[in-house]
Chain A
Amino acid sequence: AQSVSQHNHHVILSEAASLELGCNYSYGGTVNLFWYVQYPGQHLQLLLKYFSGDPLVKGIKGFEAEFIKSKFSFNLRKPSVQWSDTAEYFCAVNAHDMRFGAGTRLTVKP
């Protein structure tokens, strides 16, 4: 079965700082990749997804992620974070069913 690793458990940034959250997966076949976000008190929401094509995908709220097949990675980036980006971020991989990483808590200081 596939598995997902998120390297950062808690990231603290100041507003306007750049963000990169790491995600690696283990699965040898074709996968679809996702980043979900969970704002405090809200349900999981999709940030972006990769199915095929251009490995650089853009999502909502200025987020983007790059799929690097050779590295089994799908890192999430944002050039300039805002206080409202404070949330929990989950990387997920869907090969047969969707598996999530442990999540990264992002705190953005105003």
Chain B
Amino acid sequence: DAGVTQSPTHLIKTRGQQVTLRCSPISGHKSVSWYQQVLGQGPQFIFQYYEKEERGRGNFPDRFSARQFPNYSSELNVNALLLGDSALYLCASSLAQNMNTEAFFGQGTRLTVV
């Protein structure tokens, strides 16, 4: 079975540009969460989506947005990129929204802002 897949794997953008990252969850999983992992730190929670609705949001500026599609895949958008947005962006999927579920992570998208 395919795990969580993310695309692209690597990306280089210029300051001020916009970027869209994509995530396909494990088949049957309805919840998708996004995390930002800066080098040397743990993943920081950005968003959780369940059944196409935002169910949780971390402490990130409004430049970050996301959505979930009817097939449960998800996109993370970041506008007006800053150098500090350079990080590994992780997507995790789980069966349900509640806390009693394990999250499965993708390999991540490495974003470099120059």
Which one of A45, A46, A98 has the highest number of Cβ atoms from chain B below 10 Å of its Cβ? Answer: A98
A63-82, CB < 8 A from B: none
Q: Does B102 have its Cβ within 8 Å of any Cβ on chain A?
A: yes
How big is the B interface, by class? Answer: 20 to 34
CB of B42 within 8 A of CB of A43, answer no
CB of A97 within 8 A of CB of B58, answer yes
CB of B100 within 8 A of CB of A51, answer yes
B77-114, CB < 8 A from A: 90, 92, 99-100, 102-108
Partner of A43, one of B44, B56, B105: B105
Q: Does B73 have its Cβ within 8 Å of any Cβ on chain A?
A: no
Main secondary structure of the interface of A (DSSP, over half): strand
CB of B99 within 8 A of CB of A100, answer no
CB of A97 within 8 A of CB of B42, answer no
CB of A43 within 8 A of CB of B108, answer yes
CB of A100 within 8 A of CB of B106, answer no
Smallest CB–CB gap between B7 and chain A, Å?
14
CB of A99 within 8 A of CB of B105, answer no
B residues bordering A, Cβ < 8 Å? 3-4, 33, 35, 40-45, 48, 55-56, 58, 90, 92, 99-100, 102-108
A residues bordering B, Cβ < 8 Å? 4, 6, 31-32, 34, 36, 42-46, 49, 51, 90, 92, 94-103
For the complex of A and B, list the 5 residue pairs with the smallest distance between their C-beta atoms, beginning with the closest.
A100-B42, A44-B105, A97-B56, A94-B99, A100-B43
